[in-house]
Chains A and B, each alone.
Chain A
Amino acid sequence: MKLEGIEGSLILIKQGAEARVFESNFVGRRSVIKERFSKKYRHPLLDSKLTLKRLNAQEARCLTKARKLGVSTPALYAVDPLLHTLTFEYVEGPAVTDVLLEFGLHGIVEERLDDIATQIGDAIGKLHDGGLIHGDLTTSNMLVHNEDKAVDLYVLERALLSMHSSCGNVVSSHHGPYPCCIQEILKAVVCNIEQASSSATKRKKTHNDRMSSSPFCPPGYVKVLCDFGVQ
């Protein structure tokens, strides 16, 4: 599939509700191009506020802020205001979702789970301390890079929202509660997967069914919780 206006061929790797993601080459390095497209069914007033230009600028700003706060994200290689594309560093590694699936199928590696959970908690804690709201926290938006290194919060969809810090320093600076909470959530995830796959033959249901989102589930952060039956 060719992206109009860009030299060289591109391979589409994912299509979301708001953007297409291609694999490409940026001055000799493997890269990812995210192309946003406009939604013609939107109310024009809303659409003018959510222009691609603004969204791309927002994403660039939030990525920059996140990095300054010490949160690992893919590097931004280029922004094209005409084609409405963002070019990122290609990050190698599985999504956290896939790592959990692996655990579900072949058993949990406690150490690895602990490590991932801690890093997720650290990252979210840093974002929130810095006044950034992710807006779409899901394990499919997190990549495990270099096993021994940080978990990158890589977002495919419009994600990072900036929050004005006018409410003062409400959020506490230590990240104590986060790792424990996330640990429990992830364990619950894995248990559900194990249960589902063990009774797969009986109920004719695959683990994918359990993982699919409920139509009544609110978007964003809460999605993780309600998918896996945690309060």
Chain B
Amino acid sequence: MKSFEIGIGGISLSLALFVDVTNSKELLELMQAGTLEPEVAFLNASLVPVVFPVLAAAYKTLVAKSRESLTTRTLHSELVYNYSGSKHISESLKRCGISDSTTYILAARFGASSDEMTAIKGHIKGTEIGLDELETRADRAQIHKHYKISVPELGISSVSDAIICRISARDAL
């Protein structure tokens, strides 16, 4: 688990990575019922090659929150929505969030205390691993498909930068 300063209002983002998760269905149900405490974002970790794009999505989320202009219902669902780089809300939450069969999850929470992070870890039935494993475990094919990254683009950019450009430019396109 690691915390990152986003640079808005002094709020940090805590991230924790899990493999072999067996209760995704349960987590999804609890989340949709609104009874999962504390509030947390579950990202499909296969789409996360490195931490930086998640931080860019977090930045965008905090800016929107500070201006009272969230598109989705909660701060954490907004993070998942922003990470997708797509304007389609439900599709974004489905693709970048978790499904019943997801076993590889990145959990994220804004301004989390260590107690809160412990509580979140308690909910997840899986093994926590280091964030440095993101690179090797990322599903490149899935990333290229979801973000529609072309071969020429890969020649001049890292996957991380390609994702960030889509995250930041989405609302301008």
Interface residues of A (CB under 8 A from B): 7-8, 25-29, 56-57, 60-61, 63-64, 67-72, 75-82, 87, 89, 126, 150
Tell me whether chain B's interface is mostly helix, strand or loop, or mixed. Answer: helix
What is the number of residues of chain B that contact chain A, defined by CB distance less than 8 Å? 29
Chain A CB within 8 A of B19 CB = no
Q: When A75-B164, A150-B156 are in contact, do A27 and B150 touch as well, CB less than 8 Å? A: no
- Number of A-B pairs, beta carbon distance below 8 Å: 81
Residues of A within 8 A of B153 (CB): 67-68, 70
B173 close to A61 (CB less than 8 A): yes
Among A27, A64, A76, the one with the most B-chain Cβ atoms within 10 Å of its Cβ is A27
A79 close to B4 (CB less than 8 A): no
B164 close to A76 (CB less than 8 A): yes
Residues of B within 8 A of A67 (CB): 153, 156-157, 162, 165
Interface residues of B (CB under 8 A from A): 4-8, 52, 55-56, 58-60, 63, 67, 150, 152-153, 155-157, 161-162, 164-166, 168-169, 171-173
Residues of B within 8 A of A64 (CB): 165-166, 169, 173
B168 close to A78 (CB less than 8 A): yes
* Selected A-B contacts with CB under 8 Å, 19 pairs: A7-B8, A27-B5, A27-B55, A28-B55, A57-B172, A57-B173, A60-B169, A60-B172, A60-B173, A67-B157, A67-B162, A68-B152, A70-B152, A76-B164, A77-B56, A79-B169, A80-B63, A89-B161, A150-B156
